[in-house]
DNA sequence: ACGTAGTAG
DNA sequence: CGTTCTACTACGT
C-alpha cells in the first residue's frame, strides 16, 4: 500500500545494531585522568624511542600536529606552542583499557574488544532507545573511569565506525551518533563530503587506485558496483561497499584465545652495519620472543627474522628475511636464538640496517602433560627458558642472558635508550652472560 | 606453504 | 642526521 500523509507515523522499528565505542585521544586522555593540568593544553603522547606522536589531544590537532609527526621536528617549537609531550606509559593505558572494556560488558553481552581503546557491542532497539543507550554508555564510562568516549551506532561495523567519526566531528551530537536516526539528507551529504581514505579499511594505496576509477568519497564507494570492486581489488573491499550500504558483512568476532603470531621488533638508535651487531640483536629479540611465549604459555612452530634499512635511506634498500621451521613446537630461547641467527648470512657488511624483528608463528598452547618427545631439545628438557625468567625476576633482568645478548658492555647502539621500549627496555639492556649450551 | 602487499590502531 | 610497534587478511606463486 502506498504511503499517504494520513498514515499514522510508522511504529518505531526495533532492530539489530552495532555500537562502536572509542575513547577520544586515548593515550592523552589517560594521561589527563592522572594529571588534570594537562586539560585544555595541547598534549601529545610519543611512540617508543620518543620517535613520533601517536596520540594527540584536540588542541594538539588544532595546532596542525599530524599523527606520526616526528618529535625531533616538534621539540624546538614545543615551548612556544605550549605543547606538552609525554612518553608512552603502556602499563597505565593497558589498565585503563581493561576498566573500560569491563564496563562495556554491562551494556551488552556481546562485546568485541577491537583494540586497546575501541570495542564493538551488539545492541538492539529503536533508534531512540539506541540514542539513550549511547548516551548512557558515554556518561557511565566517564563517571567511572574519567575517560571521554564517543559512540557510533549503525547496522554494520563500517557504518558504526562512520557514525562514531561523525559523533566526534559534529559536536552538536554530544558524542553519540545513531546513523539511522539522522535524516537521509544529512547522512547522504556526510558521506558525499567524506574522502574515501576515511572509510574503515581504505588506506592510502587503495585511495590512489580508487581515484583512478573516479571514486573519491565514501558515497562514491558505496554506490560503486560491488562486483567490479571485487574484481579490481579483493573480497575485502567488496565487503566494505556492502557494509557502507548498511549490510553487515564483517561479523562480530569472539575473542581470539590464541594469537596466530607474536612479533618483537625495534628500530635501532644507531644503524647496525655488521654481522656481530646483528647477531646480538637477533639474540636479544629471540629471547624477548621466548619470554613472551612463556608468559602466554605458548609454543611456536615457525620463526621468521628480518632486518631492514631505513625507509628514509635513499642510498640503500635491503630487506633480508628468513623463515625457519622450528624442530618442534617450542618457546626455548636457545632454539629460537639459533633459528633467528640464520638471518646473518644475508646481512651485507656496510649496509646501514635501521630495524630488525623476530616473528614467531603457528602458535599453540603449551601441552600441560609431560609427554615423551624424542625431538625435544636438551635445553628445553632442562627448562632453561623458565629458569632464565625466574633468575631475572629474582635478581633483575640484567642478571642473565644468552650468548652475545648477555654482554653487559654491548656496542654503542645497545646502550642508547632509543633501543628500548619504555617498559621492557629498562630491563633487558642490563643482561649478563651465561653459557647455556 | 611461503612471501608480499595493504591496512589498522 | 633523524620518522613506532604489533597483528591481521588476502593474494600470487
pTM: 0.81
For A95 and C6, how far is CA from C1' in angstroms?
18
Rounded distance between C-alpha atoms, residue A136 and residue A153, angstroms:
13
Residue A119 has a pLDDT of 94
CA A357 from chain centre, in angstroms, equals 16
The answer to whether the C-beta of A266 is closer than 7 A to strand C is yes
Q: Tell me the three cell numbers of residue A81.
A: 606552542
Residue A385 has a pLDDT of 56
Q: Which residue has the higher pLDDT, A390 or A94?
A: A94
pLDDT at A431 over 70: no
* Closest-CA residue to A386 (of A294, A300, A296): A294
pLDDT at A314 over 50: yes
DSSP code per residue over A51-96: -BEEEE-HHHHHTTPPTT-BHHHHHHHHHHHT-EEEE--HHHHHHH
- pLDDT tens profile A202-235: 998 899 899 989 999 999 999 999 999 998 899 9
pLDDT at A311 over 70: yes
* Closest-CA residue to A433 (of A248, A221, A274, A287): A287
Look up the protein residue whose alpha carbon has the minimum distance to the C1' of B5: A205
Residue A262 has a pLDDT of 86
Return the residue matching grid coordinates 532497539: A125
For A186 and C5, how far is CA from C1' in angstroms?
38
Per DSSP (E only), the strands in A247-395 are: 261-272, 298-309, 321-330, 353-361, 364-365
List of residues 6+ apart from A66 with CB closer than 8 A? A53
Look up the protein residue whose alpha carbon has the minimum distance to the C1' of C4: A47
A196 φ/ψ angles, rounded to the nearest 5 degrees:
-60, -25
For A48 and B7, how far is CA from C1' in angstroms?
21
Average pLDDT of chain A is 81
The answer to whether the C-beta of A218 is closer than 7 A to strand B is no
The answer to whether the C-beta of A117 is closer than 7 A to strand B is yes
Nucleotides of B under 7 A from a protein CB: 2-9
The answer to whether the C-beta of A235 is closer than 7 A to strand C is yes
Residue A1 has a pLDDT of 53
pLDDT confidence of A389, banded at 50, 70, 90?
A: low
Amino acid at each position: 500500500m502506498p504511503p499517504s500523509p494520513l498514515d499514522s507515523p510508522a511504529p518505531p522499528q526495533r532492530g539489530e545494531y552495532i555500537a562502536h565505542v572509542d575513547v577520544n585521544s586515548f593515550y592523552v586522555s589517560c594521561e589527563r585522568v592522572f594529571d588534570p593540568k594537562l586539560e585544555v593544553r595541547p598534549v601529545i603522547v610519543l611512540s617508543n624511542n620518543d620517535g613520533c606522536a601517536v596520540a594527540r589531544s584536540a588542541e594538539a590537532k588544532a595546532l596542525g600536529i599530524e599523527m606520526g609527526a616526528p618529535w625531533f621536528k616538534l621539540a624546538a617549537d614545543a615551548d612556544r606552542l605550549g605543547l606538552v609531550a609525554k612518553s608512552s606509559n603502556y602499563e597505565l593505558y593497558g589498565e585503563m583499557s581493561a576498566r573500560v572494556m569491563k564496563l562495556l560488558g554491562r551494556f551488552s553481552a556481546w562485546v568485541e574488544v577491537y583494540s586497546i581503546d575501541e570495542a564493538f557491542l551488539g545492541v538492539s532497539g529503536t533508534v531512540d532507545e539506541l540514542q539513550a543507550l549511547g548516551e548512557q554508555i558515554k556518561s557511565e564510562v566517564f563517571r567511572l573511569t574519567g575517560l571521554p568516549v564517543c559512540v557510533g551506532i549503525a547496522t554494520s561495523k563500517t557504518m558504526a565506525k562512520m557514525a562514531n567519526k561523525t559523533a566526534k566531528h559534529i559536536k552538536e551530537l554530544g558524542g553519540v551518533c545513531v546513523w539511522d536516526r539522522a535524516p537521509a539528507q544529512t547522512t547522504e551529504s556526510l558521506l558525499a563530503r567524506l574522502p574515501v581514505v576515511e572509510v574503515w579499511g581504505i588506506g592510502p594505496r587503495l585511495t590512489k587506485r580508487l581515484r583512478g576509477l573516479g571514486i573519491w568519497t565514501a558515497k562514491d564507494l558505496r554506490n560503486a558496483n560491488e562486483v567490479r570492486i571485487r574484481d579490481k581489488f579483493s573480497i575485502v573491499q567488496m565487503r566494505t561497499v556492502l557494509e557502507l550500504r548498511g549490510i553487515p558483512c564483517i561479523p562480530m568476532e569472539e575473542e581470539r584465545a590464541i594469537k596466530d603470531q607474536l612479533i618483537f621488533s625495534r628500530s635501532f638508535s644507531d644503524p647496525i652495519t655488521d654481522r656481530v651487531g646483528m647477531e646480538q640483536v637477533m639474540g636479544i629479540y629471540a629471547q624477548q620472543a621466548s619470554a613472551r611465549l612463556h608468559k602466554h604459555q605458548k609454543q611456536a612452530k615457525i620463526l621468521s627474522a628480518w632486518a631492514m634499512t631505513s625507509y628514509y635511506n635513499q642510498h640503500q634498500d635491503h630487506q633480508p628475511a628468513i623463515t625457519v621451521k622450528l624442530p618442534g613446537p617450542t618457546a626455548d630461547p636457545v632454539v629460537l636464538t639459533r633459528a633467528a641467527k640464520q638471518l646473518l648470512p644475508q646481512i651485507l657488511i656496510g649496509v646501514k640496517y635501521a630495524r630488525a624483528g623476530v616473528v614467531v608463528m603457528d602458535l599453540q598452547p603449551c601441552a600441560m602433560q609431560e609427554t615423551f618427545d624424542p625431538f625435544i631439545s636438551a635445553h628445553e628438557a632442562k627448562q632453561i627458558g623458565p629458569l632464565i625468567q625466574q633468575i631475572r625476576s629474582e635478581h633483575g633482568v640484567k642478571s642473565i642472558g644468552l650468548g652475545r645478548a648477555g654482554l653487559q658492555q654491548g656496542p654503542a647502539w645497545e646502550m642508547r635508550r632509543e633501543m628500548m621500549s619504555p617498559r621492557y627496555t629498562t630491563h633487558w639492556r642490563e643482561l649478563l652472560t651465561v653459557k647455556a649450551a
